[in-house]
Amino acid sequence: MAGIYICFGNDYANPNRPFKGTSMIELLNTYTVVDIETTGLDSHFDEIIEIAAIQVSNGQEINRFNSLVKPNQEISTFISELTGITNEMVENSPGIDVVLPQFLSFIGTSVLVAHNANFDVNFIYDFTRLLDLPPLKNDFIDTLRLSRRIFPNWDNHKLQTLVNNLNISDTVEHRALSDCVNTHLCFESMKGYISANNLSLDTLWEHYGTMSKRIHAQTDQFDLDSPVYGRVFAFTGTLEKMPRKDAMQLVVNAGGICGDGVTQKTNFLVLGNNDYCKAIKGGKSSKQKKAEKLQIDGYDITTISENVFYDMIGAENLMGGD
C-alpha cells in the first residue's frame, strides 16, 4: 500500500460512506465482534496494525480471526506504549492489502459488534475504499452506545471500565483480539442485565433532551447517542475548514462542552489537519504531549484530527461534504 504515509487530508477529508451499515439497537445472539489497533485515529493519515474478529452464535464464541499488519509508517513510541505493538512485532507481518480481504471474507454479512463501533467501522470502510475492495456494508451494534444508556451514572464508559464494573476481568490488554473477547463478554453481560432488571430498549432510548445550564447552545434538542454529547473538547492548532469558534459552537450545539486547555476532564483534543500531519512526523504541541501522558495514565482522553472531529459531529453535512 505505497504512499499511505503521504498527508493527503485535503483531498480525502470527510469521505462520504454511502454504503456504510446502520447502527442498530438490538440484543442479538448471533453476530461478529470486531476490533482494530491503529497508528492513530485518522484513516486519512494513519494505518491499521492489528485486526481481529470473533464469530458468535447463540451467545457463544465459535471462531476467531486475528492478524498483525505491517504498516508503511513507523509505529510511534506512544502507540507502542498504548497497545504493546512494536515495529519489531510487525516486521514480518502481511500488509493491509493482504489481511483486509481475509478479514472481510471472515466477517461476511454478519452484524458487527464493537466498542466505539463507528471508529472501527469508519476506519475499515475507508481502507476498503483506498484498496478498491467492496465497501463494508455490515450493520453494527455499539457497546459504548448501549452502556451509556444502561449505566448513565458511570464516570466513563471505556471498555476498561465496563470490564471492571461488570466483573469481566481485572485488567484489559489493549490488543485487538483481547478487546474482541472482552467486548463479547460485556455485550452478553449487558444483555443479561437488561433482562434481569426488566428493562426495555424502548425505555432506554427515550429522548430526554434538555439544555444543560453549563452549555450555551443554540438548541435544546440534543441527540443523546451522539459521541459529542456530554463530552469535553479542547482544540489546538489552526483548523482547515472553519474558525475554531465555529467548531466550538458545533460542539455545544451537539450537547458537548468546550475547554480552553487540556485537563483530566478533557475527553477529546482536536488537532487541525496540518498539525495532525506534523504530529505524525514527530512534532507535537505541549497540549498533545499532555493529552498523551494523561491517556497513558488511564484518563478518558483521546487526540483526534480535524477530519475525525467532523466525522463525529456530522459537520461534513453542514459544510456540503465532498
DSSP line for 79-117: HHHHH---HHHHTTSPPHHHHHHHHHHHHTTPPEEETTH
Asked if 174 is an active-site residue, the reply is: yes
Q: What is the pLDDT of residue 250?
A: 92
Q: Is the pLDDT of residue 302 over 80?
A: yes
Predicted model pTM: 0.72
Q: Which fold has domain 9-196?
A: Nucleotidyltransferase; domain 5 (3.30.420)
pLDDT by residue (tens digit) across 229-250?
999 999 988 888 888 888 998 9
The segment(s) of the chain belonging to CATH 3.40.50.10190 are 232-318
Q: Which CATH number fits domain 232-318: 3.20.20.80, 3.40.50.10190, 2.40.50.100, 2.30.30.40?
A: 3.40.50.10190
pLDDT by residue (tens digit) across 17-44?
889 998 888 999 999 999 999 999 899 8
Strands of 302-305's sheet in order across = 257-258, 232-236, 268-271, 302-305
> What residues contact 308, with CB distance under 8 A and at least 6 apart?
41, 42
Give the H/E segment covering residue 318. Answer: helix 315-318
Question: Highest-confidence range of 26-40, 188-202, 215-229, by mean pLDDT?
Answer: 26-40
Given pLDDT bands bounded at 50, 70 and 90, which one contains residue 216? low
pLDDT by residue (tens digit) across 56-114?
999 999 999 999 999 999 999 999 999 999 999 999 999 999 999 999 999 999 999 99
The segment(s) of the chain belonging to CATH 3.30.420.10 are 9-196
Asked if 223 contacts 167 with a C-beta cutoff of 8 angstroms, the reply is no
Q: What is the pLDDT of residue 278?
A: 60
* Active-site annotation holder among 44, 157, 174, 207: 174
